[in-house]
């Protein structure tokens, strides 16, 4: 007779297993995502399933072969003591007796977490570095003189097939072992950190008996301006809270190079910045734990992504070498550290901190995280990934080869160095349209749903007012000025007589275009000046030249798609970016936003330890192109000053 056919839903995975096989065993054999913390002892209840068709062993009914009857006794006891929901079975106890269909409810499917990336939605297999394991340890014996820890190690190896040769236990955790084992009746739940590659195992904490608690992890994107964190449940990857703080290092310098200079000029400068950023992370931990209603000590894992200067300052390495060619990193490898080594006292004292590897001196762990999220190495088509910030990190590649470079765009895209510029905040102009016939502008500000020429706009903006223009607003304004003919291809703003609009006003020997004049009501005059245009031209030329340099390396004049990463990238209109010549020509519907792809990459590394090994392998194969020493960069930079470009065609703009 054929073995029973088992079909799991919603995965659709199927296969045949011998009659009497427990559902959990069948799930493991067929690669179905079904959780277990107690290793099938009928204690943790994580393996619950809904049998929807077929015959299974029942409570209290002896199932042949006789040896299997105990399984049901365990489940019956569980049901009596803790209760099972109607129709639910413990997957580790219920045995398959005939052809069956088994539904795995979402709370038992812990190994998949959906992460959205620019081109698709992708499943992440949950396999975090730190997980809970219930272990049954043999009692000590006068004839067997081994210690409790040695017997725990043996039990971990026997019951969970975990190699424990290099297993370490911090002293404070070891001191809890003996009382926990005796209190738990020789059962103990351990939070075990399993390093990838050659890193050994480490017990981070332990509890008597079966501990039904949760472990959490933090994915932190440490930027030069802001520090953003997601608090994730390590069981299912769910983000339970998010928070951000300003990077307090701003007081030492707005941009990275000023911070490197601060470290060069001041004996204690680097250490001061290290203390500032670690304090900020500790405050962030307290805040995010409160928001997620958890104890900070439940945070056992932390993954950090950041640019090389932030990386060195966080770790306590001198960043001075990163301020001068050849921009040597102290180490480009990933780092796996104790929270205590970084003074991250807000986390569990034994928590582990993982920093992704850097790609090169100016292309850091944040770019590696973007790569992990977007996987250019898996792309059939040629993809250009642009993470726009004070420096733009650019990656270009496909299945055959991936290149990366960093380009010094400066802070203009973030609204800095712009006469009416400001950060994206309520009151900032974020969208702009200019009528090509009347040359009259309309705009939207952050915090108001209406365009400036719509009824109710004045009422809605009365409180916040119009305060300035942010990065996405200035990009749209300059692109719209070009399309409306108030700005020529060289980037010169015309006079009122040349453009036919009084909004073009003289400013010394140049002109400015007035977007909004609120002076009669005590508000600001918001205009786009010739120097603003120059700052945007420099920034966009640097970005374009970096991309073009990578295209030269691959001997191509076109890309198949463009991914705009970063919070700023999420707000750029693809059309305006292309009119301006920020990015190479591409079908507009093939330009997508990946949001905070660096943060997504950090979450992936938090949820899946194999992803850590993958990015460590991949960064060695990403070819770094150094813009600072490449003469063609200057040529591309000069040609890209024109709007959109002096020579490169943009056929998709005319379509
Ligand atoms: Fe723990 Fe089934 S695996 S109760």
Cis-peptide into 388, omega within 30 deg: no
Q: Is the CB of 353 under 6 A from ligand 1?
A: no
Q: What is the DSSP string of 484-520?
A: HTSB-TTSPBPPHHHHT-TTEEEETTEEEEEEEE-GG
Ligand 1 centre from 311 Cα, in Å? Answer: 41
Q: Helix, strand, or coil here: 248?
A: helix
Q: Is the CB of 89 under 6 A from ligand 1?
A: no
Mean pLDDT for 385-414 is 89
CA 306 vs CA 255, 322, 386, 600, 601: distances in Å: 14, 14, 16, 13, 11
pLDDT digits (tens, 9 = 90+) for 131-160: 999 999 999 988 877 899 999 999 999 998
Ligand 1 centre from 113 Cα, in Å? Answer: 21
In whole angstroms, give the CA distance from residue 371 to residue 373.
Answer: 5
The residue with greater pLDDT, 611 or 62, is 611
Q: Helix, strand, or coil here: 133?
A: strand
What residue segments make up the domains of the chain, in order of their start?
5-108, 129-208, 218-409+549-554+597-645, 420-528
Q: What is the mean pLDDT of the chain?
A: 89
Q: Is the CB of 43 under 6 A from ligand 1?
A: yes
Residues whose CB is less than 8 angstroms from the CB of residue 436 and which lie 6 or more positions away in sequence, other chains included: 483, 484, 485
Ligand 1 centre from 93 Cα, in Å? Answer: 8
Side-chain-side CA neighbours of residue 321 (13 Å): 13
Ligand 1 centre from 43 Cα, in Å? Answer: 6
In whole angstroms, give the CA distance from residue 490 to residue 646.
Answer: 9
pLDDT at position 34, please?
85
In whole angstroms, give the CA distance from residue 653 to residue 306.
Answer: 35
Mean pLDDT for 211-223 is 93
pLDDT at position 66, please?
42
**Residue 287: count of CB within 10 angstroms of its CB:** 17
Q: Please choose, from the candidates 406, 295, 421, 399, the residue with its C-alpha nearest in 3D space to the C-alpha of residue 358.
A: 406
Q: Is the CB of 418 under 6 A from ligand 1?
A: no
Q: How confident is residue 72, by pLDDT bands cut at 50, 70 and 90?
A: low
In whole angstroms, give the CA distance from residue 161 to residue 40.
Answer: 14
Q: Please choose, from the candidates 431, 511, 512, the residue with its C-alpha nearest in 3D space to the C-alpha of residue 475.
A: 431
pLDDT digits (tens, 9 = 90+) for 581-619: 999 999 999 999 888 899 999 999 999 999 999 999 999
Q: DSSP state, 329? A: -
pLDDT at position 59, please?
52
Contact between residue 552 and residue 374 where contact means Cβ atoms under 8 Å apart: no
Q: How confident is residue 246, by pLDDT bands cut at 50, 70 and 90?
A: confident
pLDDT at position 557, please?
93
Q: Is the CB of 189 under 6 A from ligand 1?
A: no
| Ligand 1 atom at minimal distance to the Cα of residue 78 | 4
Global ipTM? 0.98
Class of domain 218-409+549-554+597-645 as given by CATH: alpha beta
Q: How confident is residue 63, by pLDDT bands cut at 50, 70 and 90?
A: very low
Q: Is the CB of 47 under 6 A from ligand 1?
A: yes
| Ligand 1 atom at minimal distance to the Cα of residue 39 | 3
For the chain, report the end-to-end CA distance as a whole number of angstroms.
Answer: 66
Q: Is the CB of 46 under 6 A from ligand 1?
A: yes
| Ligand 1 atom at minimal distance to the Cα of residue 44 | 1
In whole angstroms, give the CA distance from residue 486 to residue 503.
Answer: 10
Ligand 1 centre from 31 Cα, in Å? Answer: 17
Ligand 1 centre from 180 Cα, in Å? Answer: 21
Q: Is the CB of 466 under 6 A from ligand 1?
A: no
Ligand 1 centre from 36 Cα, in Å? Answer: 5
Ligand 1 centre from 187 Cα, in Å? Answer: 15
Q: How confident is residue 112, by pLDDT bands cut at 50, 70 and 90?
A: low
pLDDT at position 60, please?
43
Q: Please choose, from the candidates 560, 573, 547, 505, the residue with its C-alpha nearest in 3D space to the C-alpha of residue 645.
A: 547
Domain covering 129-208, topology:
Ubiquitin-like (UB roll) (3.10.20)
| Ligand 1 atom at minimal distance to the Cα of residue 38 | 1
Mean pLDDT for 214-235 is 92
pLDDT at position 116, please?
47
Q: Is the CB of 23 under 6 A from ligand 1?
A: no
- Structure-token match 């310098």, residue found: 253
| Ligand 1 atom at minimal distance to the Cα of residue 91 | 2
Mean pLDDT for 358-368 is 90
Q: Is the CB of 132 under 6 A from ligand 1?
A: no
Mean pLDDT for 312-338 is 91
| Ligand 1 atom at minimal distance to the Cα of residue 47 | 2
Ligand 1 centre from 48 Cα, in Å? Answer: 8
pLDDT digits (tens, 9 = 90+) for 261-276: 899 889 899 999 999 9
Q: Please choose from 25, 28, 38 the residue to mutate so as to test ligand 1's pocket, defined by most ligand atoms within 8 A of CB.
A: 38
Ligand 1 centre from 66 Cα, in Å? Answer: 21
**Residue 377: count of CB within 10 angstroms of its CB:** 17
Contact between residue 363 and residue 384 where contact means Cβ atoms under 8 Å apart: no
Q: Please choose, from the candidates 532, 633, 529, 538, the residue with its C-alpha nearest in 3D space to the C-alpha of residue 581.
A: 538
CA 268 vs CA 258, 263, 271: distances in Å: 15, 7, 5
Token reading at 588: 């507009």
pLDDT digits (tens, 9 = 90+) for 480-495: 999 999 999 999 999 9
Q: Is the CB of 90 under 6 A from ligand 1?
A: yes
Task: Report the CATH superfamily, name and number, of domain 5-108.
Answer: Beta-grasp domain (3.10.20.30)
Highest mean pLDDT among 204-213, 515-524, 559-568: 204-213
Q: How confident is residue 198, by pLDDT bands cut at 50, 70 and 90?
A: low
| Ligand 1 atom at minimal distance to the Cα of residue 90 | 2
Contact between residue 344 and residue 353 where contact means Cβ atoms under 8 Å apart: yes
pLDDT digits (tens, 9 = 90+) for 539-585: 999 999 999 999 999 999 999 999 999 877 777 888 999 999 999 99
> 115 pLDDT exceeds 80?
no
């Amino acid at each position: 007779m054929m073995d029973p056919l088992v079909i799991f839903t919603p995965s659709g995975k199927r296969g045949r297993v011998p009659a009497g096989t427990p559902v959990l065993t069948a799930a493991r054999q067929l690669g179905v995502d079904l959780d277990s913390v107690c290793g099938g002892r009928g204690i943790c209840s994580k393996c619950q399933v809904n049998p929807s068709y077929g015959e299974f062993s029942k409570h209290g009914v002896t199932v042949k072969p006789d040896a299997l009857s105990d399984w049901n006794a365990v489940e019956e006891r569980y049901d009596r003591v803790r209760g099972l929901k109607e129709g639910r079975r413990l997957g580790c106890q219920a045995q398959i007796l005939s052809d069956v269909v088994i539904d795995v409810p979402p709370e038992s499917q812990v190994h998949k977490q959906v992460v959205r990336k620019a081109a698709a939605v992708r499943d992440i297999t949950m396999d975090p570095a730190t997980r809970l394991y219930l272990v049954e340890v043999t009692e000590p014996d006068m004839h067997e003189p081994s210690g409790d820890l040695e017997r725990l190690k043996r039990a971990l190896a026997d019951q969970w097939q975990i190699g424990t040769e290099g297993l370490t236990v911090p002293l404070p955790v070891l001191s809890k072992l003996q009382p926990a084992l005796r209190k738990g009746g020789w059962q103990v739940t351990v939070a075990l950190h399993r390093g990838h590659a050659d890193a050994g195992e480490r017990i981070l904490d332990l509890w008597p008996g079966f501990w039904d608690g949760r472990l959490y992890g933090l994915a932190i994107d440490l930027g030069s301006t802001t520090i953003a964190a997601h608090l994730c449940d390590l069981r299912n990857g769910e983000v339970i809270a998010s928070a951000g703080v300003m990077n307090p290092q701003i007081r030492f310098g707005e941009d990275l190079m000023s911070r490197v200079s601060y470290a060069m000029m001041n004996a204690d400068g680097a250490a001061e910045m290290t203390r500032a950023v670690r304090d900020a992370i500790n405050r962030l931990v307290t805040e995010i734990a409160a928001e997620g209603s958890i104890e900070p000590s439940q945070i056992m894992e932390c993954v950090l992504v950041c640019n090389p200067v932030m990386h060195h300052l966080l770790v306590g390495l001198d960043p001075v070498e990163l301020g001068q060619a050849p921009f040597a990193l102290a180490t480009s490898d990933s780092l796996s550290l104790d929270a205590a080594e970084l003074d991250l006292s807000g986390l569990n004292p034994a928590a582990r901190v993982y920093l992704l590897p850097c790609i090169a001196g100016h292309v850091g762990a944040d770019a590696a995280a973007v790569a992990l999220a977007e996987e250019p190495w898996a792309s059939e088509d040629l993809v250009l990934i642009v993470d726009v910030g004070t420096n733009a990190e650019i990656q270009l590649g496909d299945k055959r080869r991936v290149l990366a470079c960093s380009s010094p765009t400066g802070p203009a895209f973030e609204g800095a160095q712009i006469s009416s510029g400001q950060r994206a905040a309520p009151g900032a102009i974020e969208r702009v349209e200019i009528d090509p016939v009347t040359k009259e502008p309309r705009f939207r500000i952050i915090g108001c749903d209406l365009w400036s020429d719509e009824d109710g706009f004045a009422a809605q903006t009365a409180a916040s007012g119009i305060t300035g223009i942010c990065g996405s607003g200035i990009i749209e304004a300059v692109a719209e000025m070009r399309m409306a003919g108030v700005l020529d291809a060289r980037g010169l703003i015309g006079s009122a007589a040349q453009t036919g609009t009084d909004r073009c006003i003289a400013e010394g020997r140049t002109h400015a275009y007035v977007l909004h004049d609120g002076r009669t009501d005590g508000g600001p005059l918001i205009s786009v000046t010739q120097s603003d245009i120059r700052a945007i031209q420099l920034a966009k030329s640097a970005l374009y030249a970096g991309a073009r340099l990578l295209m030269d390396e691959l001997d191509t004049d076109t890309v198949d798609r463009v991914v705009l990463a970063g919070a700023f990238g999420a707000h750029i209109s693809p059309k305006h970016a292309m009119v301006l010549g920020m990015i190479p020509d591409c079908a507009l519907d093939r330009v997508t936003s990946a949001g905070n792809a660096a943060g997504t990459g950090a979450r992936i590394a938090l949820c899946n330890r194999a992803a850590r090994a993958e990015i460590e392998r991949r960064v060695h194969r990403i070819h770094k192109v150094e813009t600072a020493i490449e003469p063609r960069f200057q040529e591309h930079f000069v040609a890209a000053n024109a709007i959109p470009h002096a020579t490169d065609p943009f056929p998709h703009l005319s379509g």
